[in-house]
Copies of this chain bind each other. A is one copy, B any other.
């Protein structure tokens, strides 16, 4: 039962992040996204993943592994655009 709640929580918070990730990866437009917000968020998700491994929690690992890939993709586009394009 607790494990099911963890996976449902993981699915919901990851799913809520998907539309932004899909939009950004498709359009590569990051002008209205905040570099500092995505830097904090990506680092935070990375640390949640490490923490998930430390306490051997599968729901935490599952949620944050997927979210990390999405957040890091968005952050990479943002950094690329800041460095080489308009922002």
Contact = CB atoms under 8 A, between A and B. Distances in A.
Interface of A is mostly: helix
A51 B9 contact: yes
Contacts of A34: 19
A60 B54 CA distance: 14
Interface residues of A, number: 33
A8 interface: yes
A1 B14 CA distance: 26
A13 B37 contact: no
Interface of A: 1-2, 5-6, 8-17, 19-20, 34, 37-38, 40-41, 43-45, 47-48, 50-51, 54-55, 57, 59-60
